[in-house]
Amino acid sequence: MKIRNFSIISHIDHGKSTLADRFLEMTETVSGRDMSDRFLDSMELEKERGITIKLQPARMKWKDFILNLIDTPGHIDFSYEVSRSLKAVEGAIILVDASKGVQAQTITTLNMAKKQNLTLIPAINKIDLPNARVEETARELMDLIDVDRSEILEISAKEGTNVKDLLDEIIDKIPPPKEKKEDFRSLIFDFERDPYKGVVAFVRVFSGNLTKGEEIELVAVSEKGEVKELGFFNPRLQPEKVLSCGEIGYIATGIKEVDKVRVGDTIVKAGSHVDPLSGYKEPKPVVFTSFYPKNSREFSDFKKAVEEIRLSDPAFTFSPEFKEVFGRGFRCGFLGSLHAEIISQRLKKEYGLELIISTPSVSYKIEMTDGEIVEIKNASDFPKRTKIEKVLEPWAKLEIVTPQEFVGNVNKVLETLKGNYIDTDYFSASQRLVIIYEAPFRKVITGFYDKLKSVTKGYASYGYEVLGYRHGDLTKMEILLNKEPEEAFSRIVSKDEAETEGRNLAKKLKRLLPRQQFPVPIQAKVDGRIVARETIKAMRKDVTGDLYGGDRTRKDKLLKKQKEGKRKMSKEGSVDVPQEVFFKIFKEGE
């Protein structure tokens, strides 16, 4: 079978999209007149940020062979996108920047490829740069994937140097798809909505063939449809008569309800009794944050925008939420902090919305005393302590690549995560280390990357893999304003850090909250105990300023009356927190 299905694995900004451009040019898939930089990055934000966010397939022809490329993101937050592409291919190019060497997110994605038993082709990119360290990078790759030096290609995707040799390597080394003439089965690895054709599913065919007009069924939801159109990615949609085993293409299903289609589902011919394809995992958000429109009158536009983004990004989830100070909004789930940042920027740039965004948090599982397990994504949902048997939180395995000279600094940052050291690998060629560390994921998503970059002068990189849930000595911390709880400031904290976190937040609120006519105590409360307190002094009016003459008793009488009035206001008064205070707390990080 003269088909080769492959992907490109690389760290962010190592030249993957540029290499995809050269492939499209050299195979004459896209004419020079239509070509543009980062051609497969279709979103405006992708071109602006210089990163790939959404996977894109492309079908090319080279020396009588069909090459199906699925261009994937490089950042670990989009590993879900990468996993979808790896499931649909037989091989992958490991692309490494010669000036930077192997970096952490390449290692993380490479481990995913190894689990799929994919054939790997190592390539060193950007050899034209004056600071290229080709031999050092080659030795790192040899340590990483156990290959001979002669098997590592040296290319410049920008200049096109040796890119044709890489195309030949794809044909020579990546195995063809296994030919299976059984009943039709195809894996959905992505989809988009078309107002006329219904849901257009992006598929990899694993057996049999399909033609236009046939009736199909989505196995997971038992939903039937009719093939309105099918074809290949050239790289735009190109209609064809048939999709056969081993090919990557699209199927216009005719199904109008988008929520019926799931990435990872199997499409079969209606009436056929075949098992679904296995081994594919649905995306599971691990980071949660709340989005509210700054202008509450824009909620309907905000809701429509969120729903549209969900159609193009199955890993993004949302559910309604209401806070009296903000109005209506959504509690949103993401694959990581960058994923959350990208979605917020899309809402701003593509839909013109200004948002209030809460600090990212993770989900927790709580084992109750009656044996029930409850999953919560917000501190306000934390049950009463007397009903809790055990609190579980997600942990992550980190792989940090750093120059040896910064190891001490990196270890100090890791100590703040309160996790477990696992192992260290050493790249002798470049005197860099790979530190493997496990830590609570809540610690990783709040400022860890910025600290890591700061202590290593930008030279370190990291990737992560969410491991699962582990027991944590956690509890809920409440913030009381004038002895009344303000639920928006509640959070789940480690018991041994509750006092420090409570003190820090109380100080921030003292700085940000406006003064009232009465003193306002700010208290952090954990398990019924006050662990931190600050007080905002009352505004004071000089009630004795208009007095003239007389003895001291007149002045004392007015001051006593003022004091009694403030005491009464303190008992009966409430503190209204301005919206900008919530916004500043969220922005600075709780």
Q: Which CATH class is domain 185-269?
A: mainly beta
Per residue in 96-136, pLDDT tens?
999 988 887 788 788 888 888 899 999 999 999 999 999 99
Local confidence band at 530 (pLDDT 50, 70, 90 cut-offs): very high
Residue ranges of the domains in the chain? 3-173, 185-269, 287-357, 365-471, 475-588
Q: How would you class 341 by CB atoms within 10 Å of its CB: exposed for 0-12, middle for 13-18, buried for 19 or more?
A: middle
Local confidence band at 31 (pLDDT 50, 70, 90 cut-offs): low
Q: Out of 1.10.8.640, 3.10.20.30, 3.40.50.720, 3.30.70.240, which CATH number does the structure's domain 365-471 have?
A: 3.30.70.240
What span, in angstroms and rounded, lies between the C-alpha atoms of 531 and 527? 10
* DSSP SS3 for 396: strand
Asked whether residue 264 carries a pLDDT value surpassing 90, the answer given is no
Q: Quickly name the fold that domain 3-173 has.
A: Rossmann fold (3.40.50)
Per residue in 188-223, pLDDT tens?
887 888 888 888 888 999 999 999 999 999 888 888
DSSP state of 62: E
CA distances from 372 to 284, 391, 474, 476, 581 (A): 21, 12, 18, 19, 37
What is this structure's pTM?
Answer: 0.73
pLDDT above 90 covers what percent of the chain? 28
Q: Give the residue among 456, 465, 461 at the shortest CA–CA distance from 400.
A: 461
Q: Count other C-beta atoms under 10 Å from residue 195's C-beta.
A: 6
CB 385 within 8 A of CB 473: no
Asked whether residue 41 carries a pLDDT value surpassing 50, the answer given is no
Residue 590: per-residue pLDDT: 41
What CATH code would you report for 287-357?
A: 3.30.70.870
| CATH superfamily name and code, 475-588 | Elongation factor 4, C-terminal domain (3.30.70.2570)
What span, in angstroms and rounded, lies between the C-alpha atoms of 434 and 474? 30
- Identical fold between 185-269 and 287-357: no
What span, in angstroms and rounded, lies between the C-alpha atoms of 125 and 137? 10
